[in-house]
Amino acid sequence: MKKVLVAEDEESIREFIVINLTRSGYTVEQAENGIVALKKFKEDENGFFAPEARDALIKELENKNAVLIGCGIGKGIGARALLETVMKRYEGTVLVDADGINLLAENIYLLEERKATTVLTPHLGEFSRLIDKPIEDIKRNRVKYAKQFTQLYVNTVLVLKGYHTIIAKNGDILYINSTGNAGLAQAGTGDVLAGLIGGFAAQGVSALGSAVAGAYIHGEAGDICAEALSQRGMRTTDLIEYLPFSLKKFEG
């Protein structure tokens, strides 16, 4: 079944988000009480994840719904071991962003061999490295390449960031996000999006539902923030402060 939501179909996207958040039992109380304390694993001499900590990591991930990996991990030996361990041995939803995507582009077999669900959140440059196509070509054919990619990697949900972010799955499910503005095109906002999607997935929302909800709420928070502060004046820290104004619309 082909499911396509165009950018103008905002009401359908909102309905989809409400259904998915409701089915997952999402409530303010669960969000507030679901905070998990940070756990530190053995580090290498540079302060990054040490490869010998693989088993400890997997043990810690038992009974966890989702893992977000990639933001600021670098591309060293430890980062590679971290990504490889999670992709090969963790059976929950894995969201890969930033450095994790660049590492994945150099080790695409990890995506080819993975049986469980993976969510990827690349911008155009990262996606270009994933599929080895020029950015300008991707800009002209975003829908085509998003469909092709998710046909090839059937257990992957792709969130191709940009103007009207595309969320694709299985090559025949496609959502085109209607929220967001140019003020979101700055360092750090992608990390906020990854955190939103990962947060929803951790609460039990499906990978696709998390991606659609995260993209929409992230963009809407950006729109509310821009209305208050202007696109030029808003910063990533401001965006975080405006997330509750968007989330509130889907609660109660």
Domain ranges of the chain: 3-250
Predicted confidence at residue 35, as pLDDT, reads 44
The DSSP result for the chain, as a single string, is --EEE-TT-HHHHHHHHHHHHHHTT--HHHHHHT-----PPPB-TTSSBPGGGHHHHHHHTTT-SEEEE-TT--SSHHHHHHHHHHHHH--SEEEE-THHHHHHHH-THHHHH--S-EEE---HHHHHHHHT--HHHHHHTHHHHHHHHHHHSTTEEEEE-STT-EEEETTTEEEE-----GGG-STTHHHHHHHHHHHHHHTT--HHHHHHHHHHHHHHHHHHHHHHH-TTT--HHHHHHHHHHHHGGG--
pTM: 0.86
Predicted confidence at residue 49, as pLDDT, reads 86
pLDDT in tens, 128-156: 999 999 999 999 999 999 999 999 999 99
CATH of 3-250 given 3.30.565.10, 3.40.1190.20, 3.40.190.10, 3.90.650.10: 3.40.1190.20
pLDDT in tens, 72-100: 888 999 999 999 999 999 999 999 999 99
